[in-house]
Amino acid sequence: MHTLLFLLLLAGTQSATARTHSLQYFYTASSHVPNFPEFVYVGLVDEVPISHYDSNTMKTEPKQDWMLKATDSQYWESETQKSLGEQQWFKVNSETLKERFNQTEGVHIIQRMYGCEWDDETGEVKGYDQHGYDGEDFISLDLETETWIAPTPQAVITKLKWDNNKALLANQKNYYTQVCPDWLKKYLEHGKSSLLRTELPSMSLLQKSPSSPVSCHATGFYPDSAMLFWRKDGEEHHEDVYVGEVLPNHDGTFQMSADLQVSSIPPEDWRRYDCVFQLSGVKEDIVKRLDKDSVESNREKPTDVTTIIIVAAVVVLALVLAVTGFIVYRKRNAKCPPSPGKDPNVLKPLNPDGQVSNSPSETSS
């Protein structure tokens, strides 16, 4: 089962020189696992879920819009019936395995992973069928020898039974080498707008501190068949380099990083290094030259501190000038005569007898 989990983690991380497509199905049957369905099935194309069934909903449903458009209601009814049959098959086998391992109650998990891979450049096809129980490999199909491999004594009974069923072996070989790849190509055609798209990443060089490695980070690319590495003088460089795994982004794209330890590299030699990103289906490489000016850091730069000090000084000076100006203004007001709007005597008549002088029209003869 460790092999199963390892394949789950690494599926899709193929060489950028050729794109390998995959059609995979995962089944999980469990007992006494809180808040988890007793049976779950997921179908995936190039690691993208296309169908799903669980024992809670009791329905097989599409997970992509293009999958829904390419099928009809009868197709999903048929898939639901198949899933119900698989659910019952796993339930019976769960009891059988508990007897073989002398188990009674408790948490137990059966898993199956099967499917095929197709290289769109070479045409090479690979099929696989693996079963696991309680986190360990139980039995797997060897298509080359057309026999089953049993790594545990409890699986030998199953191996002998399935090896003797030649008709079943012939049918499985036909499925994994012919039927499965044909369906994979059909799914790729129906979902090509999303499955076969190509998105280039944004790249950046990051460093936390002068003693930290420089991390070349590429994010937003699709598909996940990509390579990221460092070069020195145009040659691939592996010394003091750590390449991380491809990780998914929330929007369906991917990201990865490659770290280069630069503490032993003289500053004048930095420009001899560059980070290279290669994406499957894209001929041109994306290259990021190692240069101190292009490395982003979360350290506080001296120029930033100087700017802050200058801005603060200007603000303080402006405040002092404002206060000083207000004080001067108050003093000047105290010495000047009152304004017309504030002295009531200014509104008194200018003539001693209290009469207002005539207007120009009244003085004319």
Question: Do 270 and 233 form a contact (C-beta atoms < 8 A)?
Answer: no
**In CATH terms, are 2-195 and 202-297 the same topology?**
no
The CATH class that applies to domain 2-195 reads alpha beta
Bridge-based pairing state of the strands 226-232 and 241-243:
unpaired
Q: Please report the pLDDT score of residue 342 as a whole number.
A: 36
Q: Which residues contact 125 (CB under 8 A, 6 or more apart)?
A: 116, 117, 118, 119, 176, 177, 181
Q: What is the pLDDT of residues 149-202, one digit of tens each?
A: 999 999 999 999 999 999 999 999 999 999 999 999 999 999 999 999 999 999
Q: Is the pLDDT of residue 361 over 60?
A: no
Q: What is the pLDDT of residues 6-25, one digit of tens each?
A: 333 333 333 344 578 999 99
Q: What is the pLDDT of residues 253-291, one digit of tens each?
A: 999 999 999 999 999 999 999 999 999 889 999 999 999
Lowest mean pLDDT across 121-135, 202-216, 230-244, 315-329: 315-329
pLDDT band at 73 (very low <50, low <70, confident <90, very high): very high
Q: Please report the pLDDT score of residue 281 as a whole number.
A: 81
Q: Choose between 184 and 355: higher pLDDT.
A: 184
Lowest mean pLDDT across 6-15, 63-72, 219-228: 6-15
pLDDT band at 214 (very low <50, low <70, confident <90, very high): very high
Q: What is the pLDDT of residues 18-48, one digit of tens each?
A: 578 999 999 999 988 888 999 999 999 999 9
pLDDT band at 298 (very low <50, low <70, confident <90, very high): low
Alpha-carbon distance values, 273 to 118, 211, 239, 276, 277 (Å): 36, 17, 12, 10, 14
Peptide bond into 223 cis (omega under 30): yes
Q: What is the pLDDT of residues 304-347, one digit of tens each?
A: 444 455 555 555 455 545 545 544 445 454 444 443 333 333 33
The CATH class that applies to domain 202-297 reads mainly beta
Q: Please report the pLDDT score of residue 299 as a whole number.
A: 53
Q: Please report the pLDDT score of residue 22 as a whole number.
A: 96
**Annotated domain spans of the chain:** 2-195, 202-297
String of DSSP letters for 49-80: EEEEEETTT---EESSHHHHHTS-HHHHHHHH
Q: Please report the pLDDT score of residue 297 as a whole number.
A: 83
